Amino acid sequence: MPDSDVELLHALARGEAQAVATLYQRHGARMVAFARRYVTDSVAAEDVVITLLGRWLERPPRVREVEKLSAFLATSVYHESIDWFRRERAQQGQPPRSRVNEVSAVVKTPVARESVGARLPDALARLSPDERLLLESHYMQALTTEECMELLGIGRAALHQRLHRARVRLMALLSEEEAQP
């Protein structure tokens, strides 16, 4: 089996079962720990990773030449975790997504969710990387509060201030785009 990560990714992209096994043996523990961030418990995290192995066997991933293994694994496990979360909610008869601020879902908003979804990428692109990081963590639990504090080198109070400002800025950008024809 390939020694280097790049060779391993290419073997995976060729659909080699041995590459799936090797990748799991080398990185499975971290994959499960990473999935655990986004699903309810460790049993679900194990299910997410094993489902991903089956997916790779049936549909080998396209791997870009320069892609790093950590980026490939992080994005793959994250998206599989989100899919798992959607399936769980569907099985419970709930809408596909509502992890944050369940109460706020009852707010009578005049803005159509679909149109916000379409305008969101442009609005996000106008935010700073730090603002994006805070919002990704607030709305999607990408990172914990403590991790954001560590990465940004700030305390809890400052983080809450900056998060609030980021939400206000995003709201303004979405409203501004909403006002445009």
By CB under 8 A, what part of segment 109-148 binds another protein?
Answer: 109-111, 113, 116-117, 120-121, 124, 132-133, 135-137, 139-140, 142-143, 147
Tell the residue number behind the tokens 């049936």, with chain if given: 58
Q: Which stretch binds another protein (CB under 8 A): 4-12, 34-42, 153-161?
A: 34-42
Q: Which two tokens stand for residue 14?
A: 């060729």
φ, ψ of residue 53 in degrees (nearest 5): -60, -45
- Residue 35 · residue 45 · CB < 8 Å: yes
CA within 13 Å, CB half, 82? 11
Number of Cβ within a 10 Å radius of residue 64: 11
Question: Residue 13 corresponds to which amino acid?
Answer: A
State which residue, 96 or 155, has the beta carbon closest to another protein. 96
Tell the residue number behind the tokens 């971290």, with chain if given: 30
Among 8, 12, 19, 32, binds another protein (CB under 8 A): 32
Q: State in angstroms the smallest separation of the CB of 120 from another protein.
A: 5
Q: Which stretch binds another protein (CB under 8 A): 4-12, 15-23, 154-162?
A: 15-23
101 binds another protein (CB under 8 A): yes
State which residue, 17 or 158, has the beta carbon closest to another protein. 17
φ, ψ of residue 46 in degrees (nearest 5): -65, -40
Binding mask 48-87 toward another protein (x if CB under 8 A, else -) reads -xx--xx--xxxx-------x-xx-xxx--x---x-----
Tell the residue number behind the tokens 């790049």, with chain if given: 6
Q: State in angstroms the smallest separation of the CB of 170 from another protein.
A: 7
